[in-house]
Amino acid sequence: MNTPVPGACGPRLPVLRIGDILLVTLHGDLHDEAAGRLQQDIGEAIAASSVGGVVIDISGVEIVDSFLGRVFSEVAAHAKLLAAQTVVAGMRPAVAITLVELGLTLPGLRTALDTDEALRLLAPASTPRLHQNPVRQESP
């Protein structure tokens, strides 16, 4: 179930909770003030919700500069300190090229082609797999 996280409404970007994961979807240009606010909102939402992962969907972002790349890295570092992993999803090829040209390595940040893949990456390892047959041991 998708539920908004408290404190993430109004002029702020929505931070939605999907189970144990926060989802943030970015569209258009993200100005410096909004990027800083996003960083704070995600940190507060992780602490308040005790989630294990954050997905930042940037499929609607056409330009990522060095500042925004640094914000993504800092969000990942803050999330890691709060025991959560961060995945950036939906990066356009032009954005990836720009980040490489800028020399940004984005340490601690995982990427996924789309939001579905990001959610699968963050799925708890303890989740039982469907179609898994139990192993039966024969008695001696």
CATH code, domain with 38? 3.30.750.24
- For 22-49, how does the pLDDT look when each residue is reduced to its tens digit (9 = 90+)? 999 998 877 888 888 889 999 999 999 8
How many CB atoms are located within 10 Å of the residue 49 CB?
17
Mean pLDDT of 9-19: 74
Predicted local distance difference test score (pLDDT) of residue 131: 39
Residue 67 lies in a domain: yes
Interstrand relation of 2-4 and 15-18 (parallel, antiparallel or unpaired): antiparallel
| Structural domain range at position 73 | 2-116
Predicted local distance difference test score (pLDDT) of residue 45: 92
Q: How far apart are CA 67 and CA 100, in angstroms?
A: 14
Residue 126 lies in a domain: no
Residue 131 lies in a domain: no
Predicted local distance difference test score (pLDDT) of residue 82: 92
81 vs 1, higher pLDDT: 81
Residue 55 lies in a domain: yes
Mean pLDDT of 81-100: 92
Predicted local distance difference test score (pLDDT) of residue 64: 85
Residue 136 lies in a domain: no
- For 104-134, how does the pLDDT look when each residue is reduced to its tens digit (9 = 90+)? 888 778 999 999 999 999 987 434 444 344 4
Distances (CA, A) of 139 to 132, 133, 136: 22, 18, 9
Work out how many domains the chain is built from and give that number: 1
Q: DSSP letters of 4-60?
A: EPTT--TTSPPEEEETTEEEEEEES---HHHHHHHHHHHHHHHHHHT-SEEEEEEEE
Residue 36 lies in a domain: yes
Contact call for residues 39 and 78 (beta carbons, < 8 A): yes
Predicted local distance difference test score (pLDDT) of residue 128: 42
Residue 29 lies in a domain: yes
Predicted local distance difference test score (pLDDT) of residue 81: 93
- For 66-82, how does the pLDDT look when each residue is reduced to its tens digit (9 = 90+)? 888 888 889 999 999 99
Residue 127 lies in a domain: no
